[in-house]
Amino acid sequence: MGEFVSVEVADQIATIRLDRPKMNALNGQVQQEIAEAAGLVDGDPQVQAVILYGGERVFAAGVDIKEMADMPYAAMAAHSGALQGCFTAVARIGKPVIAAVTGYALGGGCELALCADFRVAGESAKLGQPEILLGLIPGAGGTQRLPRLIGPARAKDLVFTGRHVAAAEALAMGLVDRVVPDEQVYTAALEWAATFVGGASVALRAAKQAIDQGLETDLDTGLEIERLQFSGMFATDDARIGMRAFTEKSKPKFTGR
């Protein structure tokens, strides 16, 4: 669909594929194409799961430093909003999203992976937030999504030092969810995504929204978000199909409505 970002759909699984040689640097054009791809797969009723993939060699090495190096403050103040917006578009895809991480996922690349619900990494993958080594801080969600995922102390370690984390350590700290041989990364993500195909897609979207929105607020408000989403399921065909199948001891065939 774009020059550097494509969307391929097969068996109700969409793959958002980054392809900007050599390192999938996330310049302004790539960011815009990512946002457009996120909107496309989110709105496609035939898509039930999504994979983020940068190819066999690298996920994404970060935001394009050459593009930013000479930006004055006023320009970056405007650009940073668009940068965060494209990542937020990915985070708000109302379907299960799996990042298939090969090679480097650094800076903006790591922040993009953080927008997925799950992360599968190759054994030689390296993740990190090295912005501090450039006199910067993460600007696409790293100071916010990272501590929510792995805790503030571990996040501060990565952000303050800028060090790269190998796949095994990333797994131990919860930064990734599975580690597989490098050549199996996409296949493993595809197999995981396939487990969501045929599921109750309306309920999956509601569950994702309830969890993500609830994490941003206090418990009482989160419980109210859950209550409203739960009640809303009783207006769906899928809930009636699922509960009827349960009582009849049959397998439900959800319609996504």
- 131 has catalytic annotation: yes
Q: Which among 97, 118, 121, 100 is positioned nearest to 47, based on CA atoms?
A: 97
Instruction: List the catalytic residue out of 131, 169, 183, 224.
Output: 131
Instruction: List the catalytic residue out of 111, 183, 191, 226.
Output: 111
Half-sphere exposure of 221 (CA within 13 A, CB side): 7
For the beta sheet containing 165-166, the strands, ordered from the edge strand earlier in sequence to the opposite edge, are 104-106, 126-128, 165-166
CB 101 within 8 A of CB 120: yes
Those residues whose C-beta lies under 8 Å from the C-beta of residue 91, and which sit 6 or more positions away, are: 115, 141, 145, 212
- 33 has catalytic annotation: no
- Separation of CA 226 from chain center: 22
CB 4 within 8 A of CB 20: yes
**Active-site residues: which are they?**
111, 131
